Chain A
Amino acid sequence: MDIGNIIDAAFSNAFGPQAIVFALAAIGLNVHFGYTGLLNFGQAGFMAVGAYGLAVTMVRLDLPLLVGVAAGLFASLLLALVLGVPTLRLRADYLAIVTIAAAEILRLVFGAVETKKVFGGSNGLNGFTDTWNDLNPYTGGIDIGIASWGRNDLWAMTVGWIAVALCCLLIWALMRSPWGRVLRSIREDEDAVRSLGKNVFLYKMQALMLGGMIGGLGGIFYALKQASVVPSDYSTNLTFFAYTALLIGGAARVLGPVVGSMIFWFLISGLGEFFSQATSGVDPLIPASIMTDTQASLIRFILMGLGLMLLMIYRPQGIFGDRREIAIDAR
């Protein structure tokens, strides 16, 4: 058992590219759900169109990286528009199911044999990271004792954390403004907002687009970091985990999603490493009769499930949330 490795895994992932992907996805969700009350369970869909927008542009059309990024962002914006028109007038729980359905439709279509020529079928697309890797100014990885990252990770982290910071800044500026106030009011009661002369649909659409674009950015970043775009990466679980990250940090708080996804990855990786070490090697800490290493790889998800439940039970407002807000929810 090597405690150092466990710490290293936990910290490296908490600040690594994976956390950035989830931070972006969760910031987008925060705009949707945290501030506007849109129960978007299709964030994976926004991420998928962002990623596929990038990959298809670069792989199939052979256009440069920047065009790919623009295409990805545009695709997620477009999805927001197309999805928003029919769904934004649905009640929250209906919206949740419809957005899941939309995200699943996208994932299935992206992975279908019939669209293989464009989207690459269930293996997805790869081979678009050359420019991205070439731009990498670092020559080697870094090891700071409690964490270490490779050269590619460092580059991804540099770009990624800047993007996260810019997004947070934007959200902060928007949410303290009257615009943000309208969003938060819509979350509470649409009819009341309508009666005060605000075009509720327009605001919801703007929120859907903004959050969707940030989600799309997360997808683009995911694609670059993963060096492949695979439909199954964008399953509903991705959305669930993004929600988890958001709620750990606390919804409707600017830094909630960021801190949330860092903690999420800290725990997931740390636990994963712990159990994999505890069950591997010649003389495992936990003997194979109790738990095989295959079973061990499940433990972190079991614990994550448990953790998520406990968090919601004992601190439903997340790390940054306001207890008073939650009390009002009780029905």
Chain B
Amino acid sequence: MSGIILYFNTAIALAVPILMVSIGVCYQEKTGVYGMGSDSSMLLSCFTSIVTLIATGNYFVAIVVGILSGGLMSLFFSIFAVRLGTDQTLTGLACNFAVMGLTSSLLRLLWGVDGIPMMEKPASVPIPLLSKIPIVGEILFDQPIVNYLVYIIIPISWWILYRSTVGLKVRAVGENLECADSVGINILKTRTLACMVAGMCCGFGGAILAVQQVGTFADEMTGSKAWMGIIAAYFGGWSPIGATGAAMVFGLAMALEKRIQLMSFISLNSYTVQLFPYIAAILVICLTGKNRRHPANMMHYYQKQ
């Protein structure tokens, strides 16, 4: 029984940063701005949140700083990609490179060869009654406090995107820029804001990863997590609920990979086993990802005549 709980807990832990990125990507890509640069927001936030944590010792402040720096990074991205109309993919990739270099050189500047210290990670907080529910309760409601925040962000994001007027604007911008402009939606503002919200989500994901899960900063510590987030958004159809499902699939598959390694009867080398989550992801996409169409104005730049 504890095995199952651990398995799901690991899956959730793996999924949460991916999920936050993918929710961010939902906002951003719904307005037709490619989320290639998510990694930059996430990585920068990992760095700033840990630095803040070391400086202040306060988790809350650390996470807030992480979120803000993610948003700032995205703002920087949007100045180029949204305002000036630079190629979104290239700008995103360039931001990723830049932040990779920036964080690791700052890391050296600040801590040098001694390396950054390892910080203690906050314990999980069981929710009084709910966590008593067997299995489900133990899996879902005995989590670090930030994860509960993520639980709330998912439905709120869905509601914002699909039920609120703001969401309607966001989606309209992604579908038909001219139409959006003609009904009085400020495209620049909408896109820039969506990018910033996306950056803040990625920043939150990064802060969770650094402060809650790892407890320190390592070069390129986000690994492929931001990419996974982008993929999850795609195949969740840019809906926060869909993206949650996709991120959970990734989390479960990645957690399963370690289980498979433990099974002695399949003697495969580690690389073969590590292929498993990706195969699973592709299988799931085959089954569910049919005819996902990205927003019609993806990567289109809008310039007022």
Whether A and B are associated in the same complex: the answer reads no
Hey, which bits of chain B sit against chain A, CB under 8 A?
none
